[in-house]
Amino acid sequence: MAGSADRRLGVAVDFSPCSIKALKWTVDNVVREGDHLILVIIRPQEYYERGEMQLWETTGSPLIPLSDFSDTAVLKRYGLKPEPEVIDIATTASKEKNIEVLLKIYWGDAREKLLEAIEHIPLDSIIMGNRGLGTLRRAIMGSVSNHVVNNASCPVTVVKSSEQRH
């Protein structure tokens, strides 16, 4: 990883309980003063709008500062309705740990877009939740976390969901 003052730590956030758990775990166990914590959001292709977002189809959105998370105009532009808990965790971490929190949005397949985020931001490490899909559902749908773990060019941490389905 890069020096302690300029690490870029990504957390895959889709506002599900498992991604919120991964964000909390990252803040509690990994983040240090001076880090950049980047919340990486992957939106399904159908949320992709015409107009200015087409500029970001391949590169994702610009990095959005934490101060814009509560700006309804900014959130509406990207079609986001973040969980208040995510904003609370990010705001508290920013103040208490003296870190910069940013948001980056991609549109498309989560497996591929998370790998793009690692390369293009670039990230020193990525942390993600695991939904705990059962063996059959994982075989049919594919596991985003398995794909990222097997193909990422940086360390990947998967925070297990407390609920495991069979």
> What single DSSP character describes residue 49?
P
Specify the pLDDT at position 53.
63
- CATH number of the domain within which 103 lies: 3.40.50.620
pLDDT tens profile 46-58: 655 555 566 677 7
Whether residue 1 is contained in a domain is answered as: no
Q: Are 28 and 127 in contact (CB under 8 A)?
A: no
Q: In whole angstroms, give the CA distance from residue 31 to residue 116.
A: 22
Whether residue 165 is contained in a domain is answered as: no
Would you list the DSSP string of 80-118?
----HHHHHHHHHHHHHHT-EEEEEEEES-HHHHHHHHH
pTM: 0.86
Share of the chain above pLDDT 90, in %: 57
Q: How does the average pLDDT of the chain come out, rounded?
A: 85
Task: Please give the residue range of the domain that contains residue 62.
Answer: 8-160
Q: Is 64 helix (H, G, I), strand (E, B) or coil?
A: strand
Closest by CA position to 8, among listed 102, 130, 90: 102
